[in-house]
Structure 1
Amino acid sequence: MSKMTREEMVESVPQHGFFGHPRGLGILFFVEFWERFSYYGMRAILLYYLYFTVTQGGLGLDKVTAQQIMAMYGSLIFMTGILGGWVADRLFGSRRSLMYGAILIMAGHIVLSLPFGLGAFLVSMILIIIGSGLMKPNISNVVGGLYHKNDSRLDAGFVIFYMSVNMGALLSPLIIDKVRLNIGFHEGFSIAAFGMFLAVIAYLFFQKRNLGEVENHPSNPLNTEEKKKYTKIFTYSAILIIILLSILYFIGQLTFNSISLIVLVLGIIIPIVYWLIMYKSPDIDKVEKGRLLAYVPLFLAGVLFWSIQEQGSNVLGVFAEDSTQLDLNAYGINFVIPAGWFQSINPIFIVMFAPVISFLWQKLGRFNPSTPLKFVIGLTLAGLSFIVMMIAMELQTTELMNPIWLVLSFFICVIGELCLSPTGSSVSVKLAPSAFSAQMLSLWFLTNATAQGINGQLVKLIEPLGQKYYFGLIGAIAIVVAIIVLTLTPKIKKLMQGIH
């Protein structure tokens, strides 16, 4: 089959049928909603499953190990996204890649729902990591492929699509953690598995008639020589990984802590190598090199921001369960808050305040803060969200903290996220060398992978420092780095060469 142009692929899609948008957006919205529902619902209770005792239905791991596992999980999902993009471009195309990814995620949730202990958890972890790596970058790529590049509906289409992410993330902890409390962990995981089952069935039944030929084939398929080359690369890489794991096993060092260190090293090395490949490329000019240099402090600020933000499902998840007054009878209200419900706070605030922040930037016009300044604001607010936790613990007069403090911490961090996260995606596209336009966005996603790799080691500081001083230290570091980025802002803006 001859390669279709983008225009021909777009024309193969019914261009109306979903609130004035291409009909295919509806099926992708549905699939993404259930995928995010299953993922965030699973994540809301996974931390507790890992460290609750066996008599409570958990695996009985210590809390530090449980938090390290959560950090590794998140980091590897973002790392495999790079591989998922390559697989789509060179082997299967985005459509088949996201389908294979969805099936693997569903299988992972099914395995996790079975009462087979740590072994089942490890298998599910591998399946969901690989599946998410295949699905996460490619479903967004298919959304973009539904529209002509100059289609005025394109931005609005992505807004509608990303609403599915927040809707799934908002609803699933509320439902699945309630099931966990009333019935058990595996029943909660079963609901996540059923959500992913609905996504897979809907995609298999409706994708052909709704998505036409969009991203149905690899954009740059491997030729015969490349197939041989990459077969050797992947084979040798797999052998190397097996040898490394075997050595660690025989010397008694194949532990979650050692794997966490490996993930941290990968989280540091991969973005450095990625950046150097672009910077050293003969295909970029002097202006583009300057813009890549401007990107470095923004990348580092992004890493520190996500390090704090991702601890909301990790460190703050433990804090919600162990140190927060969940029984509102203490305040005259007859209700007990499920600890997992705090994981819905982030998407609730995003849905509420994303339009407000977007409107604010538009109204400010020429007074709209520059990109580096938005990073400063976002990182400062993330630091303050942890400083608030330290202040709350200092003022605390009872054994358990008022949940309002936890809500306030989430709120401050969410406002920071709305300042920094969309700006980070946008500036990655704007600063990208023309020869690496798509890969710069992949580099931005690595800020989260690196951050969670770092978190796998940071959580070990909680016990020696105590929670109060841990929050204070991380919050203070974030604010200091924000001040450093602020002082570098004139230099960064100069290197950005006219990019606002």
Structure 2
Amino acid sequence: MEANIHQEQSSEFRKKHPPGLYLLFATEAWERFSYYGMRAILVLYLTATAINGGLGADKTTAISLYGTFTSAVYLTPIIGGYLTDRFLPRRTAITIGGVLMALGNFSIFLHQSMGALYLGLALLIIGNGFFKPNISTIVGELYHINDPKRDGAFTIFYMGVNLGAFVAPLVVGLMDYRYGFLTAAIGMVVGQVLFNTLGNKYLGDIGKESAKKVQEHTQTVSKAPLTKQEVRRTIAIVILAIIVIAFWTAFEQAGSSLTLFTEENIDRHLGDFIIPTEWFQSLNSLFIMLLAPVMSMLWFKLSQTKNGDFKTPTKMGMGLITVGLGFLVLIPATVMVGDDSQVRVNMLFMVFTYFLHTLAELMISPVGLSMVSRLSPLKLTSVLMGVWLASSAVANKLASVLATYTQSLGYFDIFGLIGIVTIVLGVIVLFVSKPIAKLME
């Protein structure tokens, strides 16, 4: 059924992006508003004293809990992907996930306690497992496999991710922590209302059936073994998922060590106004909204040249090098701070770091989502999307472990280690990009 929709609309899709992309853009924007609004204040909420509206946890405990949560958020999509590949329609799964995430934020708002926090985080983790792999997969289903606009479409979709992520810290940074969680819950509800009222109009029948039923409609035998080509492509996806663990381990310092470094050591004065620490987490999203159209156009223009676009592994190697450079930018700042917790350094250090991290993210994340949706065997699409997201699960926990060491070893050692390791790994990936690209065919 979905294949027929693609055939009927193929000529239109060659000319412009389908309107369904922008509905998914809006749905993801509100979901990311919810997630990043909560993420921006989670460590600060945990470490703030009760009189300041927090739970009074020590920094090491707060970073560890933050890492466990963000890790689990990216692990449950494997289960959600499995269920939708076999039983649940993707659009139903997105709705279930959205409702659970709204309830999760609302429970944290209702009661200021560790018990309410654990309940809320559990609901957010489960809900995300249903939501995350399926909305990305539906984006891929809007396009033909060889449509040159696919990478650009995922980059545009990624702007939706970052529109929500940009606005959320700015909003919740101006209110008490509890009401920040309430705002995140409201954002999730708005997104679901849009998705469920406009889905039939702009998505047609896409996502209304499980992958297993789609295969039956197209007379594909779901129990047939994978072809050699499908096996090679699956191996390539798994290899790249392992490689990007290093990237996400570096990138996900944003919610923990970079937030604490900003709070403790960045001069946040802008005249008489003190910039809230949460606002710095909006820099990444701001840069993505500015740079995503440029990168989308760049990938498309390169695809029209004689040599073609960069291969996916090449882009990922470049991304690893760039994220490493972002941490090396902070090394002079950590030297200036030294052991004196009273020293504050210019905020441009952090601004430039987030700029480089954004460039790196655009070389890896939307490109990776496009690759998985394009190369995955139909019966494994959601599972492999879950595997791709699971690389972030491992990375988030590694990121929190590294971040806790900033409290004992210091920021200089940890930021320097992350920078050097990611740059070296990026260079290695560039050298092996051709054999990986051959697996992808």
TM-score bracket for this pair, using the shorter chain length: 0.7 to 0.9
Higher relative contact order (CA 8 A, sep 6+): 2
8 Å contact from structure 1 (residues 297, 485) kept in 2 = no
Q: Equivalent of 1:417, from 342, 350, 361? A: 361
Match of 1:252 in 2: none
Match of 1:173 in 2: 169
Match of 1:340 in 2: 278
Report the TM-score, using the length of structure 2 for normalisation: 0.83
Which runs of structure 2 are paired with 1:74-113 in the superposition (5 Å)? 74-113=70-109
Q: Does 1:393 align with 2:334?
A: yes
Which runs of structure 2 are paired with 1:217-256 in the superposition (5 Å)? 217-220=209-212
8 Å contact from structure 1 (residues 284, 435) kept in 2 = no
Q: Following the alignment from structure 1 to structure 2, what is the Cα–Cα distance between the partners of residues 465 and 368?
A: 42
Q: Equivalent of 2:324, from 356, 360, 383? A: 383
Task: Quote the sequence identity (%).
Answer: 36
Q: Following the alignment from structure 2 to structure 1, what is the Cα–Cα distance between the partners of residues 314 and 383?
A: 24
- Does the C-alpha gap of structure 1 residues 356 and 172 become closer, same or farther in structure 2, counting only changes over 3 Å? same
Read off the aligned partner of 2:402 and give its amino acid letter: L
8 Å contact from structure 2 (residues 133, 382) kept in 1 = no
Match of 1:248 in 2: none
8 Å contact from structure 2 (residues 312, 437) kept in 1 = no
8 Å contact from structure 1 (residues 92, 217) kept in 2 = yes
Q: Following the alignment from structure 1 to structure 2, what is the Cα–Cα distance between the partners of residues 499 and 425?
A: 14
- Does the C-alpha gap of structure 1 residues 189 and 385 become closer, same or farther in structure 2, counting only changes over 3 Å? same
Q: Could you tell me which runs of 5 or more consecutive residues in structure 1 were left unpaired when the two chains were aligned.
A: 222-280
Q: Equivalent of 1:38, from 34, 39, 43? A: 34
Q: Compute the displacement of 1:283 (Å).
A: 3.5
Match of 1:259 in 2: none
- Does the C-alpha gap of structure 1 residues 83 and 168 become closer, same or farther in structure 2, counting only changes over 3 Å? same
Q: Does 1:476 align with 2:414?
A: no
Which runs of structure 2 are paired with 1:87-486 in the superposition (5 Å)? 87-145=83-141, 158-179=154-175, 184-208=176-200, 210-220=202-212, 283-285=226-228, 298-328=240-270, 333-361=271-299, 365=305, 366=307, 369-396=310-337, 399-428=343-372, 436=380, 439-486=383-430
Q: Following the alignment from structure 2 to structure 1, what is the Cα–Cα distance between the partners of residues 429 and 196?
A: 47
- Does the C-alpha gap of structure 1 residues 115 and 452 become closer, same or farther in structure 2, counting only changes over 3 Å? same
Q: Following the alignment from structure 1 to structure 2, what is the Cα–Cα distance between the partners of residues 313 and 356?
A: 26
Q: CA RMSD in A?
A: 3.4
Q: Following the alignment from structure 1 to structure 2, what is the Cα–Cα distance between the partners of residues 88 and 290?
A: 23
- Does the C-alpha gap of structure 1 residues 76 and 324 become closer, same or farther in structure 2, counting only changes over 3 Å? same
Match of 2:216 in 1: none
Q: Following the alignment from structure 1 to structure 2, what is the Cα–Cα distance between the partners of residues 24 and 483?
A: 38
The count of corresponding residues between Structure 1 and Structure 2 is 422
8 Å contact from structure 1 (residues 10, 146) kept in 2 = yes
Read off the aligned partner of 2:74 and give its amino acid letter: F
- Does the C-alpha gap of structure 1 residues 40 and 495 become closer, same or farther in structure 2, counting only changes over 3 Å? closer
User: Which of these two proteins has the greater Rg computed from alpha carbons?
Assistant: 1
- Find the residue that maps to 2:435 and give its secondary structure: helix
- Does the C-alpha gap of structure 1 residues 464 and 289 become closer, same or farther in structure 2, counting only changes over 3 Å? same
Match of 2:218 in 1: none
